[in-house]
Structure 1
Amino acid sequence: MIHCLRILIVGCFLSIAIVPLAKAQVTVTGMITDKDNNLVLPYASIFNKNTNKRTTSDQGGFYKIAASRNDVLIFSFLGYKSDTLTVLESSGTETLNVKMEVAGKFLKGVEVTTKYTPYQLDSMARREQYGNILNNADSKLVGGRGNTPEGAGITISPITRFSKKEKQKREFKKLFDKMEKEKYIDSRFTPLLVSQVTGLKGDSLQLFMRDNYPDYDTMRVLNHQDLLYWITDKYKAWKK
């Protein structure tokens, strides 16, 4: 670590103190996109492992975060494999564009052999990863029904409510909820299970599953036996 000397004269004595210099800062910027189709990924998480600072990409997939040389940045997005990059520059600006790869769909069987299902374990990991956003309450409008406290107090202005950061946070929560529901459906309506019930393989299996993709509410009320009946009924109708 680089140090500087600070000389202090106290009375007749000479005092020399060694004060560490602050690490030089670099602004890391770039765009986060899908590796296969080059679509931008808004609200992706960028985490500086060394400083514990976190930010998210904007609606255009762009991000900006402060770092120092050799800091490790972790890029995450719902449904994608996380990526890790190391900052190389020591000052100024460094551009790190990230192309993220889609994570494979849930293809395991339906048997539960541990305390938690694979879906539950994945869900808990996602909640922990994005907890800084999900646990942050949305700002409320001043004077909104039930929002303004009696007497003196702190209220949130419409400017804050509709700020870019607040809007991105609300959009991310909607996206997270949608992805969680799809993950739950995929954890039960699996190619393995559907193939076992219908006997379909390959393209025919994919086509049937696409045409009969269930909604979240249906999957929540069906137990495993009812799900087998549901797939069978859908397959009979689909063959006709």
Structure 2
Amino acid sequence: MKRIITGIILLCCCGLLPGYAQAQQVTLTGSVVDKENGLVLPYASVTNKSTGRRTYSDKGGFYKITGSKGDIIVFSFLGYRPDSIPITQSSGTETREISLKVETRQLHSVEVSSQYTPYQVDSINRREQFSYILENPNKPLAGGSTPVGAGIVFSPFTRYSRKEKQKREFKKIFAEAEEERYIDSRFTPGFVSQVTRLKGDSLRLFMRENYPDYNTMRSLRQEDLIYWITDKYRAWKK
């Protein structure tokens, strides 16, 4: 009888151990940087494609995500080409530095037509790429007020405050980047050169010293923009 019980236990152990090995978690850590200059990319999206788990790099570009051997981890950042790597270790901590390349202009899901400008097409594609963040409503960082003398009140959101702050910071960065891209789509070197006849270093200096703000660009029609650049150029020459 003891032999039978021992045999059953051994069989159970043999059956369970492979499953346990497969279920072991690996912590993938490292930093996300710009491939060209090595600068860190804060709030980059880090997604375990195999499990759907998602997190973000912090302000210093550092990331940490869990998974199992063979899981595919996808890294993406606004204006950069996404990249992916597999987890290669079976357990413990695996450290990988991720270098992302700046994305060249590619028009995917929306075609350029009389309805859309190239900027609008790029903007639509960017919003589609990061819709899981942009369409995720902001949540309170801490809940409730603390009555006088009642001590500290802990919010159910407190444990998620870090991710919530990262999400809000990403939305802010995204909005600022969109405004800059809009300005650059209209205030182009080619267009400014046609209006001012400036070239080379003089053109770059003029554009840098007279870079318009977003609200100004939104308020100006194309013909008004020509007059605006002309006025700025005349004042700049003096």
- When normalised by structure 2's length, the TM-score is 0.75
- Of the candidates 192, 200, 203, which is equivalent to residue 201 of structure 2? 203
Letter in 2 for 1:183: R
Q: Cα 1:82–1:232, aligned 2, differ >3 Å: closer, same or farther?
A: farther
Structure 1 window deviating more from structure 2 (78-87 vs 222-231): it is 78-87
Gaps of 5+ in 1: 1-7, 9-17, 107-111, 145-155
Letter in 1 for 2:234: K
Structure 1 residue 132 and structure 2 residue 132: aligned? yes
Q: Cα 1:199–1:103, aligned 2, differ >3 Å: closer, same or farther?
A: farther
Match in the other structure for 1:181:
179
Q: CA offset at residue 236 of structure 1?
A: 1.7
CA deviations over 1:23-54 (Å, ceiling 9, x no partner): 65422111112334433221111123333322
Q: Report if aligned partners of 2:144, 2:155 keep a CA contact under 8 Å in 1.
A: no
Report matched runs for 1:80-229 at 5 Å.
80-103=80-103, 113-140=113-140, 141-143=142-144, 157=155, 160=158, 163-229=161-227
Letter in 2 for 1:41: L
Q: CA offset at residue 219 of structure 1?
A: 0.7
Q: CA offset at residue 198 of structure 1?
A: 1.7
SS in 2 for 1:163: helix
Which 4+ residue blocks in structure 1 deviate beyond 6 angstroms? none
Q: Distance in 2 between matches of 1:67 and 1:59?
A: 23
Q: Report if aligned partners of 2:42, 2:59 keep a CA contact under 8 Å in 1.
A: yes
Percent identity, please: 60
Q: Report if aligned partners of 2:42, 2:60 keep a CA contact under 8 Å in 1.
A: yes
Gaps of 5+ in 2: 1-7, 9-14, 107-111, 146-153
Higher helix share: 2
Match in the other structure for 2:233:
235
Match in the other structure for 1:65:
65
Q: Distance in 2 between matches of 1:113 and 1:132?
A: 27
Higher strand share: 1
Structure 1 window deviating more from structure 2 (134-143 vs 122-131): it is 134-143
SS in 1 for 2:208: helix
Q: Distance in 1 between matches of 2:52 and 2:121?
A: 24
How many residues are matched?
210
Q: Cα 1:69–1:93, aligned 2, differ >3 Å: closer, same or farther?
A: same
Q: Distance in 1 between matches of 2:96 and 2:70?
A: 13
- RMSD across aligned C-alpha pairs, in angstroms? 3.1
Q: Distance in 2 between matches of 1:84 and 1:228?
A: 44
Q: Distance in 2 between matches of 1:208 and 1:97?
A: 39
Letter in 1 for 2:63: Y
Q: Cα 1:38–1:183, aligned 2, differ >3 Å: closer, same or farther?
A: same
Letter in 2 for 1:195: S
Q: Distance in 2 between matches of 1:126 and 1:40?
A: 21
Q: Report if aligned partners of 2:143, 2:157 keep a CA contact under 8 Å in 1.
A: no
CA deviations over 1:107-163 (Å, ceiling 9, x no partner): xxxxx744322222222222222222222222235447xxxxxxxxxxx93862982
Q: Report if aligned partners of 1:75, 1:82 keep a CA contact under 8 Å in 2.
A: yes
Letter in 1 for 2:133: I
Letter in 1 for 2:77: F
Q: CA offset at residue 166 of structure 1?
A: 1.9
Q: CA offset at residue 180 of structure 1?
A: 1.1
Q: Report if aligned partners of 1:26, 1:69 keep a CA contact under 8 Å in 2.
A: yes
